[in-house]
Structure 1
Amino acid sequence: MRFNTFNVIPTSGLLRGILTFGLVGQSVLGLAQYPGQASDKMKVPVSVPMKAKSFDLQDVRITHGLFRDNAEREGKWLLSLPVDRLMHSFRVNAGMNTPKPGSPTKMPRPLGGWEGLDMELRGHSIGHLLSGLSLQYASTNNEAFRKKGDSLVTALADVQRVLNQDGYLSAYPQQYIDRNIAGTAVWAPWYTLHKLFAGLTDQFTYACNQQALAIATKMAAWASKKLSPLTPEQRQKMLRNEFGGMNDAFFNLYALTGNPEHLKLAQFFYHKAALEPLENGQDNLNKAHANTFIPKLVGEARDYELTGNEKAKTAATFFWNTVVQHHTYAHGGNSDKEHFFEPDKLSKHLTGNTSETCNTYNMLKLTRHLFTWSAAEKYADYYEQALYNHILGQQDPESGMVCYFTPMKAGAYRLYSTPDQSFWCCVGSGFESQSKYGEAIYYHDDKGIYVNLFIPSELNWREKGVTLVQETAYPEEATTRLTIQANAPTQMPLYLRYPGWATAGATLKVNGKVVAVKQLPGSYITVNRTWKTGDKVELTYPMTLRLVPTNDDPRVAAIAYGPIVLAGEKGHANMKGTAPFHDPADPYQYYGYDYTIPDSIDHTIHMGGKPVTDWLKPVDGKPLTFQTVAGMGNQAVELRPYYNLHRQRYVVYWDLD
């Protein structure tokens, strides 16, 4: 990792933006994912029209399947980390945890990796963990998650009190902020504080912890005092270093408190050099650190929603289109060695350091903003692409540990975190990503429900007195079934997503009767009727094989079946195991990881101009599994979903001839 004055050790991970996606009545939509009425907490409403609105996360329950399994594994990890170990660096910074030699008091064992006492980013994971705990609580109503969050918040309040520095709270001294302001070398102190702000406000909104909001408000008072003397030149110099989503965090705090000082803080973190070109339709991403950029645009989206700033809307929309159309791999991820590169050059960047997972976590946050503005199906398409193929596959089902990169290099393999000795940015964002799978399955307008994702789940729309139960084995089957339960007959449209990949058509049945589908892929099928308890909808989108070529070379392509990217199994030869990919002696250096790919691994398919269905055939008895036929390469290769291909080498992108 580079370590210099202004582009200092690129990290990622970002905060969990609350208050993110529009209004539910008078409440904030993405903030709407906490147990309780968001309107009770909102002081500043969204000021722009919204086409779609989020449901509270507490009103969506995932009933079974892959996503629930991932969330449960993540929840166990969150609960397993002791509060004393998580708080150790904070207490050391406040002088609270220094027993004398020979004292019977035993020091807790410090966490390792990026949370070590010698790491300038220490403390970032605790913010993510606060968010993850609150999201798990909202998703499950399991009191263990709330109580763990309460313990951390109480401990942080004690540290803030002992520090007694105008509300400052961190695991490192204020000198890190001073170095950032002066433009001297430091990792990313505002990035780390962003995670704390986000975690605390998530604890308030999702878990109703009043103390968490009080801590965040005191921290904001310190930030105002610290930053108000800066000149415009000092401000922009400071913002050259990675600051995560501090703009988003302060916009969200402003929406909660109505305090104009919090709005000023949000606007203070406007980075002209990064954002002005995007406002003018200029792709300035080449060589930029990807996850330094993406959170800024999440903040821009929040700016538009709260203030009506049209430039912010333009920047966020242009950025999303640019990244998705020109910088995104088949599985929904982006970047090589954490950086964007020249647009439309994917085939030149199929390396072992592609697709930092934090980037996708943040792209999905931005996507949810943009979907609520327009309810355009393309945003739901991307969300599904990235969720299934990248985020779902981030977690190793065997250990529950997660990936930093998802290598696109042929013959590479995933590398995983450790329970307490890694704490990379992608571990932190994974605490959240793997805990909030219910957030984007359903949306609504004032009339009806959008069904965006096909995940077994139950939605309770309290205001309408309607429950919607979705049953499916998707993507292992092409059909999803919706059952209505209603307190009384209810006239309501269902907006059923018709994915852009579903080019083989759609079959729709309502109470067993076939209904003609006139819409085309890339839109919504509207079923508008008076619903009563027991009504059923059955929706089928046949999946087909397709090539997903790189945007600069059609001879280099991934293979997908419906929405699912497939990867070829390439065995375990010469694998070094799944230890952390960085050198424990020098955690900043990780780009040089050697995958020692055997020369025998072949990633060429001799297709001879034939369509993919001629040379790739399904394997009987194995859902979503295919095998190349004879003559397509040196030997037959079995392909299965990339999200489920762990602890072995693989090929995602093939050379076709």
Structure 2
Amino acid sequence: MEKIRVFLLVCALCVSFDASAQYVGQHRSAIKTDVKIPVKAYSFDLQDVQLLNSRFKDNMDREGSWMLSLPVERLLHSFRVNAGMLTDKKSSKTKMPVPLGGWEALDMELRGHSIGHLMSGLSFQYAATRNMAFKKKIDSLVSGLAEVQATLDEDGYLSAFPQNYIDRNIEGKSVWAPWYTLHKITAGLIDAYWYAGNAQALDVVTKMASWAYHKIIPLNEVQLALMLRNEFGGMNEAWYNLYAITGNPDHKKLGDLFYHHAVLDPLAAGQDKLNRMHANTVIPKITGEARAYELTGNATDKAIVSNFWDNVIHNQTYVIGSNSDKEHFIEPGKISKYITGYTGETCNTYNLLKVTRHLFTWDADVRYADYYERALYNHILGQQDPKTGMVCYFTPLKAGAFRLYSTRDSSFWCCVGSGFESQSKYGEAIYYHNDQGVYVNLFIPSVLTWKAKGLKLRQETAYPEEATTRLTVDSAGKESLALYIRYPSWASNGARVKINGKNIKIDQVPGSYISLNRKWKAGDKVEITYPMILHLEPTPDNPKIVAVMYGPVVLAGEMGTEAMPAHAPYHDPADPYQYYDYDYNIPANLVHSLHINNQNISDAIKPVKGEPLTFKTINTTNGTTVTLEPYYNLHRQRYVVYWNLN
């Protein structure tokens, strides 16, 4: 979250309306402006996918409990202060709420962003679980915001900070990122309407759109360019999503006004000028252009999205699926030069996964699903501390570093907010569909209900701790349907498929889909096995710096807790840029070199019997044995992800 103290703009919608991601196929009867592009894979509603017991469900439950524990009065406090709704403490008959801390403190210019993320996260949780506690909290937050909006009486403006922040942004004066914050609020309100059926949320956000339209429609091109220099999240995406709901051309025009020529025109021309750009300022803009393409069919928007994704995946992405060093894109391809303690801002991966979902629905290309799996398991899943539910801002990859987590009510970094969403919507990308069948993209224990086809499909697995996934047809309609089962690119040892216990010959190769088409009946069972092997993944610019992987899983070396600061693993700076000077105090004798190559890897690294996904090294440079386990499991201690080869 870039702290540019100069210009301005807003955010975007995080999780609900991607015509390709969340919006293509989801609650389509409620959309007044449908997509104008060919769609190869439609998303299912979150309510159609029930997570079964797994690490994913555990993460989701912990996140849900955290969100429910945050008092509504404290979340609304800064909004009410801004609207002058609170009396002097001495004369108040009710106890004043304690202000939230960190980025939500009353003296922080970004205050108010978390309530938007929270409304989105609560909405996803409600859609996925139908737990009325989530809806009750959503309704309380929306009602409170509506009251603030009415009290402000500023033509629909709604925020926890005064409108002059927007004026300062337009004038090019110093201010953090007011449009970024407004984006989170608009996105959260749209999600509350979309996923939780809160009609008041749509009324509030429509009034916000009216204010925004009259605020910026008079601006000339020079003023707009100045305004858009400041971080504005996915404000374009949010307005396009609202346009899809309302059909109001003013809402589309708002999205168009947030087209940032300086960043997007080079991408449209196929140029890679991302080096040193603030990554999470750029990525949400791409999601907005993806939404624009879906609603208009404009080929330039499609080129922007495709070119951006290809550039980032091939030139900017670390082994865990993350990107950025100190929040900025790096010199293209030079991964080995930027393995630091400040890699992998989690918001970036959250937003890039949104872009990826758009692209998958357009093309149903397995490479998008492969990336989604890598980033989901190796970065997003590991963002959360399993012991407390707290989350990371950066995901440091420097040898000997460790994760630093938020606190419950006094951090509220951008990655806390996006974490509310990421950890609440694991059901969104497991399955997709076309008219002929279901794509099984992720191997996560879950139950899919496809009402239109009469299909109920149960997926049971301990993947990636085991190589086999079992699909059971609990109910089926009368027509034939295909199961398109992802054949991961990493599965170089082949695949085995059984239907009702009988081996099935397959002709597909890794990096494709295994298609099983038949008239299914209740009780039919499919088993798919992808044997996993150890392999090394070198950095693109230096083959002597490698990560160790087992199938899709990045393994990290356990390095203990020697010399870790007393406060670790928690860190609560008001300013995230304190991270840039953070001292991990890494011991000088820390081992991060191996005598190994892909030919001898099975001799140099041995599995630990009875401990899935756990291995021991044989050939470290000083002879020390190191335990390797999944990076997503390695919390509260030092680790090594990238190793030097000798």
State the TM-score, normalizing by the size of structure 1.
0.96
Identify which of 6, 17, 22 aligns with 1:30.
22
- Structure-1 separation of matches of 2:620 and 2:144: 64
Where do 1:116-135 residues align within 5 Å?
116-135=105-124
- Structure-1 separation of matches of 2:441 and 2:3: 42
Where do 1:472-511 residues align within 5 Å?
472-511=461-500
- Structure-2 separation of matches of 1:528 and 1:98: 67
- Structure-2 separation of matches of 1:157 and 1:503: 55
- Structure-1 separation of matches of 2:475 and 2:576: 55
Deviation at 1:235, TM superposition (A): 0.2
- Structure-1 separation of matches of 2:569 and 2:636: 11
Q: Secondary structure at the match of 1:48?
A: coil
Identify which of 74, 79, 104 aligns with 1:85.
74
- Structure-1 separation of matches of 2:173 and 2:371: 39
The answer for the alignment partner of 2:273 in structure 1 is 284
- Superposed CA RMSD in Å reads 1.7
Residues 63-104 of structure 1: CA deviation (Å, up to 9, x unaligned): 111000000000000100000000000000000013253544
Q: CA 1:4–1:368 in 2, change beyond 3 Å: closer, same or farther?
A: closer
Identify which of 189, 207, 218 aligns with 2:196.
207
Q: CA 1:486–1:4 in 2, change beyond 3 Å: closer, same or farther?
A: closer
- Structure-1 separation of matches of 2:71 and 2:166: 28
| Contact in 1 for aligned 2:324/2:343 (Cα 8 Å) | yes
Confirm or deny that 1:519 pairs with 2:508.
Answer: yes
- Structure-1 separation of matches of 2:27 and 2:522: 28
Deviation at 1:126, TM superposition (A): 0.2
Name the amino acid aligned to 1:363.
L
Deviation at 1:486, TM superposition (A): 2.7
Deviation at 1:633, TM superposition (A): 3.6
Q: Secondary structure at the match of 1:548?
A: strand
Deviation at 1:16, TM superposition (A): 1.5
Residues 118-174 of structure 1: CA deviation (Å, up to 9, x unaligned): 000000000000000000000101000000000000000000000000000000000
Q: CA 1:589–1:504 in 2, change beyond 3 Å: closer, same or farther?
A: same
Name the amino acid aligned to 1:460.
T
The answer for the alignment partner of 1:26 in structure 2 is none
Deviation at 1:631, TM superposition (A): 5.6
The answer for the alignment partner of 2:149 in structure 1 is 160
Confirm or deny that 1:308 pairs with 2:300.
Answer: no
- Structure-2 separation of matches of 1:516 and 1:350: 43
Residues 520-565 of structure 1: CA deviation (Å, up to 9, x unaligned): 1000010111111111110000001111111100100111000000
- Structure-1 separation of matches of 2:195 and 2:23: 8
Confirm or deny that 1:351 pairs with 2:354.
Answer: no
The answer for the alignment partner of 1:376 in structure 2 is 365
| Contact in 2 for aligned 1:12/1:291 (Cα 8 Å) | no
Confirm or deny that 1:544 pairs with 2:539.
Answer: no
Confirm or deny that 1:641 pairs with 2:639.
Answer: no
The answer for the alignment partner of 2:568 in structure 1 is 578
Name the amino acid aligned to 1:68.
K
Residues 588-636 of structure 1: CA deviation (Å, up to 9, x unaligned): 5331111001112110112278532120110111100011115654400
Name the amino acid aligned to 2:568.
T
Where do 1:116-515 residues align within 5 Å?
116-515=105-504
Where do 1:61-76 residues align within 5 Å?
61-76=50-65
Q: CA 1:652–1:236 in 2, change beyond 3 Å: closer, same or farther?
A: same
- Flag structure 2 segments of 5+ consecutive residues without an equivalent: none
Q: Secondary structure at the match of 2:473?
A: strand
Name the amino acid aligned to 1:280.
A
| Contact in 2 for aligned 1:447/1:493 (Cα 8 Å) | yes
Q: Secondary structure at the match of 1:639?
A: strand
- Structure-1 separation of matches of 2:572 and 2:202: 36
Q: CA 1:236–1:631 in 2, change beyond 3 Å: closer, same or farther?
A: closer
Q: CA 1:458–1:608 in 2, change beyond 3 Å: closer, same or farther?
A: closer
- Structure-2 separation of matches of 1:612 and 1:320: 32
Q: Secondary structure at the match of 2:484?
A: strand
Name the amino acid aligned to 2:642.
Y
| Contact in 2 for aligned 1:412/1:649 (Cα 8 Å) | yes
Deviation at 1:38, TM superposition (A): 1.4
| Contact in 2 for aligned 1:624/1:640 (Cα 8 Å) | yes
- Structure-2 separation of matches of 1:231 and 1:12: 18
Deviation at 1:31, TM superposition (A): 3.4
Confirm or deny that 1:49 pairs with 2:38.
Answer: yes
- Structure-2 separation of matches of 1:643 and 1:530: 39
Q: Once the two structures are aligned, what percentage of the paired residues are identical? A: 62
Identify which of 592, 606, 612 aligns with 1:617.
606
- Structure-2 separation of matches of 1:583 and 1:423: 10
- Structure-2 separation of matches of 1:87 and 1:273: 36
| Contact in 2 for aligned 1:356/1:406 (Cα 8 Å) | yes
Q: CA 1:7–1:629 in 2, change beyond 3 Å: closer, same or farther?
A: farther
Q: Secondary structure at the match of 1:531?
A: coil
Q: CA 1:588–1:625 in 2, change beyond 3 Å: closer, same or farther?
A: closer
Deviation at 1:6, TM superposition (A): 3.9
| Contact in 1 for aligned 2:42/2:434 (Cα 8 Å) | yes
Deviation at 1:40, TM superposition (A): 3.5
Q: Secondary structure at the match of 2:23?
A: helix
Name the amino acid aligned to 2:119.
L
Name the amino acid aligned to 2:22.
G
Name the amino acid aligned to 1:282.
Q
Deviation at 1:580, TM superposition (A): 4.8
- Structure-2 separation of matches of 1:511 and 1:103: 69
State the TM-score, normalizing by the size of structure 2.
0.97
Aligned length: 645
Deviation at 1:7, TM superposition (A): 7.2
The answer for the alignment partner of 2:550 in structure 1 is 561
- Structure-2 separation of matches of 1:226 and 1:105: 37
- Structure-2 separation of matches of 1:489 and 1:280: 49
| Contact in 1 for aligned 2:383/2:391 (Cα 8 Å) | yes
- Structure-1 separation of matches of 2:371 and 2:547: 16
- Structure-2 separation of matches of 1:13 and 1:76: 26
The answer for the alignment partner of 1:21 in structure 2 is 19
- Structure-1 separation of matches of 2:161 and 2:187: 18
Residues 442-473 of structure 1: CA deviation (Å, up to 9, x unaligned): 00001100000001100000000010000100
Name the amino acid aligned to 2:422.
S
Deviation at 1:14, TM superposition (A): 5.7
Where do 1:593-608 residues align within 5 Å?
593-607=582-596
- Structure-2 separation of matches of 1:336 and 1:361: 16
- Structure-2 separation of matches of 1:632 and 1:227: 61
